[in-house]
Amino acid sequence: MAKPRLVLKFIWMEKNIGIALDQMIPGHGAIPLSPYYFWPRKDAWEELKVLLETKPWISQKQMIILLNQATDIINLWQQSGGDLS
């Protein structure tokens, strides 16, 4: 049986990028663990970090992986200027 996993979700817009965290339960779907945090309106990376720190069942290793993934996507969004093409 597959284990639940954490998944970052993104909303890619011209002037903002939204980041949210879900837990995917195989056979049951997604459980939202956070609202969308929007960058650069606010520091979405820091808000995600604070949220992850409140979840003692998320390991330090998993937290680092998720924050690194968020950093990569935010950087990609910045480099593209919000343009998906």
Domains along the chain with CATH numbers: 5-83 (3.30.390.140)
Question: Does pTM surpass 0.85?
Answer: yes
Both tokens assigned to 36: 């969308």
Q: Which secondary structure element, helix H or strand E, spans residue 10, and what is its range? A: strand 5-12
pLDDT of residue 3: 87
pLDDT of residue 85: 65
CA distance 85 to 7: 24
What integer pLDDT is reported at residue 25 of this predicted model? 93
Confidence (pLDDT) at 68: 97
Give mean pLDDT in consecutive 10-residue pieces for the chain, a chain of 85 residues: 89 93 93 94 92 94 96 92 73
